[in-house]
Amino acid sequence: MLERLNEALEHIESHLDQRIEVTELARIAMTSEYHFRRMFSALAGIPLSEYIRRRRLTVAAAEVLAGQRTLLDIAVRYGYGSGEAFARAFRAVHGVGPGEVRRAGAALHSQPRMSFRLIVEGSSSMRYRIAEREEFHVVGKKARVPLVHQGVNPAIAEFIRGIDQETLEHIKALSDRQPEGLVAVCDNLDPSRAEGTELDYYHGVVTQADAPANSDGLDTLVVPAGTWAVFENSGPFPESLQLLWRDIFAQWFPSNPYQSRPGPEILRTRLSEDATRADAELWIPVERATASD
């Protein structure tokens, strides 16, 4: 898998001055577009679109300094419809406009070319199982919140604090499927998975496919039947959970015949009394990878 991802990176590099189709990158990597975006984001630490933008503006900066093309020619060459749009994007990455760079020179920021390699440490194993599930429902309270990659998500924390205890007890009573009890469910994420993009967050429980008759006033997410990889984790909260998500994409997927598929991610967490550690179960929607994907 990593070898094919690196071939996709080579394709990006040779097409920085052309339109880059994610479908073509996924074809080179022999996987789905959805899985390619998620795999790249997990391994690189930035969304695919952001990496391409930074690489283009890194190469464009070298051409600005060379002075052999006009600024408008460079803008068009790297996919910008006007000099103004190019200048805004250039300044966002380099902190200075292209005209200023050409006139007086300036310190610029460079996005290095990436390549992926797998470091096998062998110090720990990843506990997981594969589960086939019929259609089920998530019932609870829903909010639209920004994505946060590290640390506690303040929008989610505030949302949960706003749910009264009576409502929480009512929601918990509806739990009748694994994972049991209150769960955190993330759905409808932006394909880029960039920090600050929004997602649907449910604080609720998993129930049978027929929505409970006493769930009036609550939000319901219908989850189609499918395959799930279920990972178990124990450690410092929330750091160990965020590292688990990274390791799933950096280590587990490249070593197993599965790829991610669209669907909600479900997290069941049991905190220690001082809330510094947690035992967790993370459900990731997957499908078996084939040579034609």
According to the 3-state scheme, what is the secondary structure of 185-204? EEECCCCCCCCCCEEEEEEE
Q: Which two tokens stand for residue 283?
A: 């459900």
**174 and 252, same domain (yes or no):** yes
**H-type helices in 120-229, by residue range?**
154-161, 165-172
Evaluate whether residue 197 is within a structural domain.
yes
Quote the pTM value.
0.68
pLDDT tens for 48-61 read 998 999 999 999 98
Evaluate whether residue 293 is within a structural domain.
no
Q: Name which residue leads in pLDDT, 287 or 1.
A: 287
Evaluate whether residue 115 is within a structural domain.
no
Q: What is the pLDDT of residue 241?
A: 80
Q: What is the pLDDT of residue 148?
A: 83
CATH classification at residue 160: 3.20.80.10
- pLDDT value at 8 more than 90: yes
Evaluate whether residue 159 is within a structural domain.
yes
Give the span between the Cα atoms of 53 and 58, in whole angstroms: 9
Mean pLDDT value across the chain? 86
**268 and 193, same domain (yes or no):** yes
Give the span between the Cα atoms of 193 and 41, in whole angstroms: 7
The single-letter DSSP state of residue 80 is -
Q: Which two tokens stand for residue 219?
A: 């939000």
Q: Is 245 exposed, middle or buried (0-12, 13-18, 19+ CB in 10 A)?
A: middle
pLDDT tens for 120-156 read 443 344 678 889 999 999 999 999 999 887 777 899 9
Q: Report strand pairing: 183-187 vs 265-271.
A: antiparallel
**137 and 65, same domain (yes or no):** no
What range does the domain containing 18 cover?
A: 2-104
**89 and 166, same domain (yes or no):** no
The CA R_g of the chain, rounded to the nearest whole Å, is 22
Helix and strand numbers, DSSP H then E, in the chain? 11, 9
CATH classification at residue 59: 1.10.10.60
